[in-house]
Structure 1
Amino acid sequence: MSPSSAAPPAPVPAGHAEHLDDDAAHLAALGYESRFKRNMGFWENFSLGFTYLSPVVGVYSTFAVSFMVGGPTLIWSILIAGIGQLLVSLVFAEVVAQYPVAGGVYPWARRLVGRRWAWLTGWIYGWALLATVASVSTGAAGFVAYLFGFEATRTTAVLVATGLMLLAYAVNLSGTKMLGRVAILGFVAELAGALFVGVWLLLFERHHDLGVFFHEFGASAANGMSVTGGFLAASLTGLYLFYGFEACGDVAEEVPNPGVAIPKAMRRTIYVGGFAALLVTAAMVLAQPDFRAIITGQNADPITATLETVFGTGGAKAIVVIVLLSFLSCVLSLQAAASRLIYSYARDHMVFASHALSRFSDRLHVPPVALTVAATVPALIVLVAEVISENALARVIAFASVGIYLAFQMVVIAALVARRRGWVPSGKYRLGRWGLPVNIAALTYGVLAIVNLAWPRGEAFADRWSVLLGCALIIGAGLLYMGLRRPYTRSDAAHGDAHVGTGPMEEPARA
């Protein structure tokens, strides 16, 4: 990487400057000289992960479809997915502490196993990220329609999603500091909104006791499924919720002392996000006066209906404003993560148009071309998906979730392979003797989650096979491109060397 031509940074406190010197030295030892500014503090980094995970977006986007097939038992999918993804986050924490490089899963897989594996990991993760931007942006359309009183159609969905992505793009172009500030604003607003709505509903609008969480009230049978099949289908909520913590590591070159800060931010994202998601879900379930209306589709939008019934039209719209801020923050974080991956890919000459995609603005301290791609490609996905199908959102969500989980498990597998080769994590965060069992447990959970997400369901061909066909298309195209153009050979950056000369070098950070 060529040195930055930016103006000298403003003076920083001595202790902070010492950390920055250590961070630069660590990155140089890994073969990179960063042009990002390390001005994203711990709370900003945590907020980035939290707003990407976004419990309000996850629950509000999937509550109706999950409840329809699983009833109140959908809440257990949140707990199961939270524990499973915590295991994955612990594996990631060890890796990012040793390799705090922008782009996340791609550079991690590169150092753990090698160039080919890393290239395919980044390819799958990148497309899944872009699909997630599209799905989250589309999910906001119904709330915007409710807020401004117009009918939600495919056309309005495309317009709203595109507008949301453009707004997030403008904020992201403003630089890391603005990204961090908006992420904190999004975190505070989302958590406050989730706590207010959740506590209010639990205290004043409970129509059921806690026993309902152990019954699905015929939801599975109404959809032609077994009880187990209904619960697995309803687990889309939990599986869609618990990724986003990796975004803390995607911006590793923008965080001071990343080996300590990022592992802590990842774990906290799971803890706080999981708590907020469980609270909102429990409150929404217990506040429903008629479960059958949701299961049969008579109440197609139970979230908005509940808010309007409880808080009135004015109160419901005020809450929807907070919900939309959550959507904006989520899209903002997703765009940032996707742009850092694309930039990291291009910096190593691993993809076509690398020269353009690796451009860096020394004035804004962001990669503008990579950011532009992270904004425009999801807009095209939304346009194509809405033209093809009425159920585009559910399909895009399922494909995005499978793609993210595949990429996650490729890193988990890479860590397991590296351990077998002799890798001993040497960053500031280490699991010690728990590293191997946690790694194996994370892989077991991830494989089961992928099978569940990709399992063919529904009567129509597109409903049953769209996720598998989408994954096959992306992976097949990646393998074809990789085989024909051999992009992984274009960089002499280090690869597959995690097990060489490793060993504890520093005291591990406390959890």
Structure 2
Amino acid sequence: MVQNSSGSGVAPTAGVNVSEFGYKQELRRGTGRFASFAVAFAFVSIATGIFTTYGSVLNSSGPAGIWTWPIVVIGQLMVAFIFGSLAARIPVTGYAYQWMSRLANPVLGWIMGWISFTFLAIVVVAVDYTIASTVLPVLLSYQGSAANAWVITAFVIVLQALLVAFSTKWTERVNNFAVSAELIGMVLLVLLLLIVGFIAKELNVGNLFSTGAVPSEGYFSFGTLTHVGPWMMGTLLGAFTIVGFESAANLAEETKEPARVVPRAMWQAVFASGVLGFLFLLVVTLLAGDPVKLAKSATPIADVITRVLGPIVGTGLLVLVVIAIFACGMVILMSGVRLVWAMSRDERFPGHQVWKRVSPRFGTPTAATGLVFVVAQLILAVFALQTDALFSLFAAATLLPAVIYAATVLLYIIKRKSLPPSKGFSLGRFEIPVIVLAAVWLVFELLIFRDASFATAWVYVAIMVGIGAIYLVFLLIRRGGASGIAMPDLHSIDKELDEDAERVVR
């Protein structure tokens, strides 16, 4: 799907100067190809997503729920292609906020930016909470509780914030190591589980098609107005995991040749995560033993690994999982910081005078890092003592990206014939099939969130949107309406589009 300059309007070079978009280069541009891929892959983090949600899927859909995974991967891959097409045209930090602001209008762009912020703030807590609630209790042999999970999660967020605040270079080094470890660890995990399970004759093919404790009658039903059918609910396994690939676009101003590198990083991360994640799910389900009994465990994945591979090998691989989850949370926090900084640079975020500063010593938005850190700790405090905290967190962290993806794909559909020229990636003749598949998938995904179990997630969204709406009204009144929050260089982009349209007419 990548076309060169002899194809359909892709410029011969992917070098981008942020002055084209009305900015000056403030962040250091040093992120290479692997680092960009690692950022997208770390955010997706199959280790994090599967360890977090596998137990919930066993309870809601049974083992057969894993067959929804390929559907999610295909759908999200189509979304990643569309995001890549936009990132190749507007490779600026802020991703969907920038795209919506410049291609639609700044008010819609601000709403998109605020929703993205609420997503990143909640998902960093959801991810880090996984370490404390589902992995460490098995790894260190202690009884997990809401209280100790709160303390451990808070400490993990502190470590991540320190790295992000003081060194992007070291943040990327830690992430590159963690992603390499996750890739190697997950491949080893799949092979070892398969080989040992085969030798021990523990592989149970019947588990792959079992509904467990979930009744088989009405299993494939779409449900009612406020209830989703069991199989459809299983889609959440992939929907929570295969998200965040767009984080690579949020570091566009720090990436070398972003118009070429970022789109590839996004779709490659989705593809790699999808294939490796599905193989892992198949093997774990084959070795689940009694899926009804396993569904009652708070740490089902860890239980399977320890039972099949023994305490020594199992412990070593669980350490790799902890490293992967830590990197995932770190990348999410960094992405949230970059979004706050991008919106503050445009004077769109509450307290922007402080958050837009870049430390001359560290070359990072240290003040914005402090803000995201505090917000994450506050969200953790709200959810931490709930008995179903993990489900509440991942429910909200699944709903919000679905909204963001749907709005961005709709933007692309409306504006696709008047987009700025691509500088490195184009959908070409595959554009229509990609759009259709992405749209069908996103409509299907959004229908899941009508289920009553997402009430808490909707409350969180409503509260955050309400806070954002109050500030948006204040911003519009203070700036004298929508015209007062025009994006930098917006008029030059409009002029470029008008000139392209005139050329087409001629």
Once the 2 structures are TM-superposed, how far is the Cα of residue 294 of structure 1 from its aligned partner?
2.7
Preserved contact between residue 193 and residue 309 of structure 2 (Cα < 8 Å): no
What TM-score results when the alignment is normalised by the length of structure 2? 0.88
Q: Is the 8 A contact 1:39 1:176 kept in 2?
A: no
Aligned to 1:401: 398
Partner of 2:468: 478
**Selected match of 2:408 from 384, 406, 411:** 411
SS in 2 for 1:402: helix
Say whether 1:171 aligns with 2:168.
Answer: no
Q: Is the 8 A contact 1:56 1:190 kept in 2?
A: yes
Structure-2 change in CA distance of 1:492 and 1:121 (3 Å): closer
Aligned to 2:25: 34
**More deviation in 139-148 or 210-219?**
210-219
Q: Of 198, 202, 210, which residue of structure 1 is paired with 2:194?
A: 202
**TM-score in terms of structure 1 length:** 0.87
Q: How many angstroms does 1:22 deviate by?
A: 7.3
Per the alignment, residue 71 of structure 1 pairs with 62
Task: Give the 3 Å change call, closer, same or farther, for CA 311–417 of structure 1 in structure 2.
Answer: same
Please state whether the residue corresponding to 1:39 is helix, strand or coil: coil
- Could you tell me which of 115, 123, 134 is aligned with 1:132? 123
The aligned counterpart of 2:211 is 216
Aligned mates of 2:158, 2:499 — CA distance in 1: 46
The verdict on how the C-alpha distance between 1:41 and 1:424 changes in structure 2, with shifts beyond 3 A counting, is closer
Cα distance, 1:424 vs structure 2: 5.8
The structure-2 alpha-carbon separation of the partners of 1:464 and 1:345, relative to structure 1 and needing over 3 Å to count, comes to closer
CA contact under 8 A between 2:358 and 2:366: conserved in structure 1?
yes
Question: Equivalents in 1 of 2:375, 2:197: separation in Å?
Answer: 42
Aligned counterpart, 2:6: none
Which whole-Å CA distance do the structure 1 matches of 2:206 and 2:139 have between them?
34
User: Per the alignment, do residues 259 and 220 of structure 1 end up closer, same or farther by CA in structure 2, a change over 3 Å counting?
Assistant: farther
Give the match for residue 182 of structure 1. 174
Question: Aligned ranges for residues 42-81 of structure 1 at < 5 Å?
Answer: 42-81=33-72
1:210 offset after TM fit, Å? 4.4
Residues in 2 aligned to 1:443 and 1:256: alpha-carbon distance in whole angstroms: 31
Percent identity, please: 23
Instruction: Give 1:146 deviation, angstroms.
Output: 2.8
Contact conserved, 2:14 with 2:260, CA < 8 A, in 1?
Answer: no
In the aligned structure 2, how far is the partner of 1:370 from the partner of 1:151? 36
1:435 to partner: Cα distance: 2.4
The aligned residue for residue 95 of structure 1 is 86
Change (3 A) 1:502 1:473: farther
Q: What's the CA shift for 1:374?
A: 2.0
1:310-325 aligned at under 5 Å gives the runs 310-325=308-323
Following TM superposition, the consecutive aligned residue runs of length 4 or more in structure 1 with deviations greater than 6 angstroms are none
Match of 1:146 in 2: 138
* Equivalent position of 1:448 in the other structure: 444
* 1:176/1:254 contact within 8 Å kept: no
Q: Shift of the alpha carbon at 1:148?
A: 2.9
Q: Residue type of the partner of 2:184? A: A
Q: Report how far residue 212 of structure 1 moved.
A: 4.0
2:59–2:213 contact (8 Å) kept in structure 1: no
Q: Distance in 1 between matches of 2:420 and 2:116?
A: 26
How far is 1:391 from its partner?
Answer: 0.3
In structure 2, relative to structure 1, the CA distance for the partners of 1:227 and 1:414 (3 Å cut) is: closer
Compared CA separation, residues 348 and 464, structure 1 to 2 (3 A) = closer
Q: 1:42 to 1:310 in 2, by over 3 A?
A: same
Q: Is the 8 A contact 1:94 1:427 kept in 2?
A: no
CA 1:79–1:501: 2 relative to 1, 3 Å: farther
Contact 1:144 1:160 in 2 (8 A): no
CA distance in 2, matches of 1:309, 1:406: 39
Question: Who is 2:459 aligned against?
Answer: 469
Structure 2 unaligned spans of 5+: 1-10, 222-228
What SS class does the counterpart of residue 200 from structure 1 fall into?
helix
How far apart, CA to CA, are the structure 1 residues paired with 2:314 and 2:457? 34
Report the counterpart of residue 345 of structure 2 in structure 1. Answer: 347
Q: In the alignment, which of 354, 371, 374 is matched to residue 373 of structure 1?
A: 371
1: CA distance between counterparts of 2:310 and 2:390? 28
For residues 305 and 234 of structure 2, the distance between their equivalents in structure 1, rounded to whole angstroms, comes to 22
Gaps of 5+ in 1: 1-18, 458-462, 506-511
Deviation of 1:464 (Å) = 5.0
Spell out, residue by residue over 1:32-70, the C-alpha distance to the aligned partner (whole angstroms, 9 max, x if none). 112111111100110011011000111011111111221
Verify the 8 A CA contact 1:95 1:425 in the aligned structure 2.
no
CA RMSD of aligned residues (A): 2.3
- Report the CA distance shift for 1:358/1:464 in structure 2 as closer, same or farther (over 3 A): closer
Is the aligned partner of 1:274 residue 2:266? Answer: no
Secondary structure of the corresponding residue to residue 163 of structure 1: helix
SS in 1 for 2:350: coil
Corresponding residue of 2:4: none
CA contact (8 A) 1:122 1:407 kept: no
Q: Is the 8 A contact 1:140 1:324 kept in 2?
A: yes
Offset at residue 472 of structure 1 (A) = 2.5
Shift of 1:482: 1.7
Aligned to 1:11: none
